[in-house]
Amino acid sequence: MEPRKIPRFLIFLLLLPLAASAGWLREDAAIMGTAINVELWHADADRGRALIRSVMNEMHRIDSLMSSYKPDSELSRINAEAAERPVTVSTELLALIGQALEYSGITHGAFDITYASAGQYYDYRRGTRPDSKQLAEALPAINYRHVRLDSEHSTVQFLQPGVRIDLGGIAKGYAVDRSITMLLEAGVRNALVSAGGDTRVIGSHWDHPWKIGIRDPRDGDGIVSTLPLEDAAISTSGDYERFFDEDGVRYHHILNPGTGDSPREVHSTSIIGSNATATDALSTSVFVMGVRKGLKLVNSLPDTEAIIIDNQG
Ligand code: ADP
Ligand code: MG
């Protein structure tokens, strides 16, 4: 039957359930050791829910590739073997490590995935940290120049023993970007994806910009500011996410690669930019660099803004 011969009321009846199921959808999950939140608008709620599921699957996929906690991840294989010989990895992991090394260059080493050479000795749940001997041994291994990538053969090699890498400062932003790309390719125009402190939004929420709150670093539920954002990414790094206090000193999950200790000049840094891989890496970087050097870096980069809460609040 030719389309135009379908009676109009029939078309109306066929479209009715579609229109009725359009709307805003939201799901939360715990993946990559953090809270994942996906919100989107879709004209077909079933299709929208399927897309959210594929985003969650993508997060799981990236986690099993890049987690340092999973012994069979590609990343763990690098850490186990790359000091002995070049380790063949996926082009995807190679590319993200390559990006991480670029941020090391831009930040003069404030962002450095080899921080983990010392970071491995911290346990924030137990409240333990490296003793001075462990730290002295680990420090020479912290240097992004020890990581050699061979893109032709897709291999990673460490040029020094004792080197460990961890992508905790960039992988969540990357996962958020991958998710947003998937949603855009599927035709979604209004969405939010967040993984812990890394968020990216496209379009708007109802007919307003998305609103992203910046937490008060010393008040669990408090919000110091709410930012309206459209088609932007924002990442916050804070000293209140994973930490322990000892004799009035806070040891938290961001480390200065030069000292193997936590920086204490600022309490949180938020970076606003166009993609979450960049804002994730930069929020960690600016945290390490502090107010003066951090803002100088931010001002030198296109499409990049910062909100820093220093240790005076
Ligand atoms: P969150 O993981 O809470 O989103 P961040 O984006 O600030 O916070 O990243 C902190 C994580 O970055 C740490 O848990 C650690 O895995 C990693 N990291 C810590 N210090 C550095 C550093 N100097 N360079 C690169 N990565 C780091
Ligand atoms: Mg970060």
- Predicted local distance difference test score (pLDDT) of residue 220: 87
- Predicted local distance difference test score (pLDDT) of residue 287: 98
List Cα–Cα distances, 240 to 60, 147, 164, in angstroms: 25, 30, 24
Which ligand is the nearest neighbour of the Cα of 113? 1
Q: Residue 220's Cα: distance from chain center in Å?
A: 21
- Predicted local distance difference test score (pLDDT) of residue 9: 58
Is residue 197 within 8 Å of residue 236, measured between CB atoms?
A: yes
Read off the tokens for 5: 């011969």
C-alpha of residue 169 to centroid of ligand 2, in Å: 4
pLDDT in tens, the chain (313 residues): 445 555 665 555 555 555 557 899 999 999 999 999 999 999 999 999 999 999 999 999 999 999 999 999 999 999 999 999 999 999 999 999 999 999 999 999 999 999 999 999 999 999 999 999 999 999 999 999 999 999 999 999 999 999 999 999 999 999 999 999 999 999 999 999 999 999 999 999 999 999 999 999 999 899 999 999 999 999 999 999 999 999 999 999 999 999 999 999 999 999 999 999 999 999 999 999 999 999 999 999 999 999 999 999 9
Which ligand is the nearest neighbour of the Cα of 257? 1
Residue nearest to ligand 1 atom 10, measured at CA: 169
Cα–Cα distance, 202 to 193 (Å, whole number) = 9
What is the number of the ligand 1 atom nearest to the C-alpha of 288? 23
Three-state SS for 93? Answer: helix
Strands 266-273 and 232-238: antiparallel
Residue nearest to ligand 1 atom 9, measured at CA: 169
Angle between helices 276-300 and 91-106 (to 10 degrees): 20
- Predicted local distance difference test score (pLDDT) of residue 22: 82
Is residue 121 within 8 Å of residue 136, measured between CB atoms?
A: no
Which ligand is the nearest neighbour of the Cα of 273? 2
C-alpha of residue 254 to centroid of ligand 1, in Å: 5
Residue nearest to ligand 1 atom 8, measured at CA: 237
Q: Which residues line ligand 1 (CB under 6 A)?
A: 111-113, 115, 166, 168-169, 172, 196-198, 237, 241, 253-255, 257, 280, 283-284, 288
Among candidate residues 112, 104, 80, 128, the one with its CA nearest the CA of residue 259: 112
- Predicted local distance difference test score (pLDDT) of residue 312: 97
- Dihedral over Cα of 229, 29, 126, 72: its sign: negative
Contacts 24+ apart (CB under 8 A), 102-110: 103/170, 103/281, 103/282, 103/285, 104/144, 106/285, 106/297, 106/301, 107/282, 107/285, 107/288, 107/289, 107/297, 109/143, 109/144, 109/257, 109/258, 110/256, 110/257, 110/285, 110/286, 110/288, 110/289, 110/293
C-alpha of residue 249 to centroid of ligand 1, in Å: 19
- Predicted local distance difference test score (pLDDT) of residue 1: 40
